Structure 1
Amino acid sequence: MSSRNTPAALSPETVGLQCAALHSRVLSRLVTRLYNQHLNDSGLRVTQFSVLNAIKARPPESIFQLAELLGMERTSLQRTVDKLIEKGLVASEPTGNKRALGLSLTPAGETCYQQALAGWQAAQQHFESLVGKKSWQQMSSELRRFSHQVKQEL
């Protein structure tokens, strides 16, 4: 085996400090906990709220379309959507496009969304107070750009 094919020896500490996957997941878990604390009274988790928000913003014609929008695996998203349907917050109905089922908020889903929105706003303000509103605006723009770049490679 040639030395050109062997990666340079990296210490575990170096890998830990440089790993984009690790740092993005650590931040994601912490931010998720923060948002979940603020959404607790609504009975929703931030993942569920995000799905409701995406459905409200752009009612999808299929679970695949929603998964693409949210950058989620379809099977993981399906479990979340199924829970929202069981709670009576989301309805699915044929779109007329093959076997695709469109998704929409039910009246109960709309009410729940509006109640949870206050918790989301409190979480967003709390997060921005921790990291700085201007810093977050810059970072969120960069994260969207990074996501687009990585998605192009997948």
Structure 2
Amino acid sequence: MADAPIVAFDKTLLVRDACLCLHMQRAARVLARRFDEALRPVGLTNEQFSLLMSLQRPEPPTMGDVASLLGADRTTLTGALKKLERRGLAKVSVDREDRRVRRIALTAKGRTCLAAAFPMWDEAHRALEAELARINPVKLRRDLRSVASMR
């Protein structure tokens, strides 16, 4: 092992201080924990809330539409949906016109859960917006959307 290449410690510090990905991940984890805590009384995580909210549409969206909105791959989405299906909050069905397409719908139980969760999310979100007022949350959202749209 003595011949193994070594990354100099100054490079470690560079990544710690400059890596956009690391800083985004850290910020995302902090925010996710905050919203997980806020949504705990209804038994949802922030990820589950976002997924349920993405289903709140006039017509059930396709798996592809939801994956795109959430920035998730289909495998990750399928795993998250299975948990919601087991709880009776969402239902995946075959599209009537194209059997290759899967559509996801909120169930009545899912709509009830989402209605209970929304005020909790709203309160947590308002508190966060107030904390972030000094850094301009509108600009932050715009910048994050720009990052999310990168390919």
**What interval of TM-score do these two structures reach, taking the shorter chain for normalisation?**
0.7 to 0.9
Structure 2 match to 1:46 = 46
Structure 1 match to 2:119 = 118
Displacement of 1:34: 0.5
Displacement of 1:117: 0.2
Q: Distance in 1 between matches of 2:18 and 2:33?
A: 24
Q: How many residues align?
A: 141
Structure 2 match to 1:71 = 71
Displacement of 1:132: 1.3
Structure 2 match to 1:104 = 105
Structure 1 match to 2:36 = 36
- TM normalised by structure 1 equals 0.85
Q: Distance in 2 between matches of 1:147 and 1:10?
A: 30
1:135-150 correspondence runs (5 A): 135-148=136-149, 150=150
SS of equivalent residue, structure 1 residue 11: helix
SS of equivalent residue, structure 1 residue 27: helix
Deviation per CA, 1:74-100, whole angstroms, max 9, x where unpaired? 111111111111100101221131322
Displacement of 1:11: 2.1
Going from structure 1 to structure 2, the CA distance change for 1:66 and 1:37 (only over 3 Å counts) comes to same
Which structure is higher in RCO with an 8 Å CA cutoff and minimum separation 6?
1
Query: Percent sequence identity over matched residues?
Result: 27
How much is the aligned-residue C-alpha RMSD, in angstroms?
1.8
Q: Distance in 2 between matches of 1:100 and 1:82?
A: 17
SS of equivalent residue, structure 2 residue 136: helix
Give structure 1 stretches of 5+ with no counterpart: 1-8
Q: Distance in 2 between matches of 1:82 and 1:19?
A: 34
SS of equivalent residue, structure 1 residue 131: helix
Deviation per CA, 1:1-26, whole angstroms, max 9, x where unpaired? xxxxxxxx962111211111100000
Q: Is 1:127 aligned with 2:93?
A: no
Displacement of 1:134: 6.8
SS of equivalent residue, structure 2 residue 56: helix
| Range with bigger deviation, 46-55 or 9-18 | 9-18
Deviation per CA, 1:89-118, whole angstroms, max 9, x where unpaired? 101221131322211111110000000001
Q: Distance in 1 between matches of 2:46 and 2:74?
A: 18
